[in-house]
Amino acid sequence: MKKLLKYILDFLLPPRCICCGKINSDDNGLCAECFNKITFIAKPYCQKCGMPFTQTSAINKNMLCPECLSQKKSVFRLARAAVKYDAFSKKSILALKFMDKTENAHIFAKWLKLAGGDIWQQGADILIPVPLHYTRLLKRRYNQSALLAQELGKLTGIKADISSLIKYKATKPQSSFAHRNARAENIKGAFKVKNPANIKGKRVVLIDDVFTTGATAKECAKTLRKAGALSVDILTIAKVYKG
């Protein structure tokens, strides 16, 4: 019965490639052409922040990038992303964010589940999306990261908590600042944990669409750790990096 229903639905509303919109029935949501254009992040990468090693970068025995190696203390445990943020992945992510392509959240959640392998292995208790300020939420009507967390929750069986972490300060879009320090300054103190009891002692996985400098994710992680989270991992669809 379920199969028949899917057959009828596929006939009426055929699944489309999330990148180019062509009719496509591939499980990963991409047609063969777009699949070849998108860069899925694969090993070897930094064991901590997930930054791919280039052919020229020296890989030390701890499998850490120079930045993670030089940092003694870090606000997050692991960071992982499914794909490289470039012109190809950007198109489909922007569609999820601004063009009501909310059905694509299910496809992205599959990517997140795969990219988060190391996180699931180390253990995770709760999925929390990077929140939007309510004024932004009113305008956009949905938070793309909350959709991702909910879909990922269904796939992994890990609870998605979309209300404990809130953005209580409206900030300028991070995209209006180029420099890392300016981004960190802009987002500082913008988040708050509404129900610390829900967070306390939990291994949190923070969910977002894009990891650029990490300023937003790290500020969320800091807020969650202050509220008593045992650890915070960062899982995003895409990651910005050179190379």
The nearer residue to Zn ion, 20 or 166, going by C-beta atoms, is: 20
The nearest distance, CB 200 to Zn ion, in angstroms, is 28
Name the one range near Zn ion by CB under 5 A: 20-28, 154-162, 173-181, 195-203. Answer: 20-28
Query: Applying CB under 5 A, does 190 fall inside the site for Zn ion?
Result: no
Instruction: Quote the CA–CA distance of 50 and 39 in Å, as a whole number.
Output: 14
3-state secondary structure 76-138: CCCEEEEEECCHHHHHHHHHHHHCCCHHHHHHHHHHHHHHCHHHHHHCCCEEEECCCCHHHHH
Instruction: Quote the CA–CA distance of 7 and 14 in Å, as a whole number.
Output: 9
| The one among 15, 16, 20, 63 contacting Zn ion by CB under 5 A | 20
CB under 8 Å to 131, separation ≥6 — which residues? 143, 145, 146, 162, 165, 166, 167, 191
Name the one range near Zn ion by CB under 5 A: 23-31, 124-132, 147-155, 226-234. Answer: 23-31
Instruction: Quote the CA–CA distance of 223 and 218 in Å, as a whole number.
Output: 9
**With 0-12 CB in 10 A as exposed, 13-18 as middle and 19+ as buried, what is 51?**
buried
The nearest distance, CB 240 to Zn ion, in angstroms, is 14
The nearest distance, CB 34 to Zn ion, in angstroms, is 3
Query: Applying CB under 5 A, does 80 fall inside the site for Zn ion?
Result: no
CB 199 within 8 A of CB 228: yes
What is the β-pairing status of strands 203-211 and 191-193?
Answer: unpaired
The nearest distance, CB 45 to Zn ion, in angstroms, is 8
Residues 36-75 that bind Zn ion (CB under 5 A): 46, 48-49, 51, 65, 68
Query: Applying CB under 5 A, does 19 fall inside the site for Zn ion?
Result: yes
Tell me the three state secondary structure of residue 63.
Answer: coil
Query: Applying CB under 5 A, does 34 fall inside the site for Zn ion?
Result: yes
| The one among 29, 31, 84, 132 contacting Zn ion by CB under 5 A | 31
The nearest distance, CB 151 to Zn ion, in angstroms, is 20
Query: Applying CB under 5 A, does 165 fall inside the site for Zn ion?
Result: no
Query: Applying CB under 5 A, does 83 fall inside the site for Zn ion?
Result: no
CB 188 within 8 A of CB 216: no
Q: Which spans of this chain sit near Zn ion (rule: CB under 5 A)?
A: 17, 19-20, 31, 34, 46, 48-49, 51, 65, 68
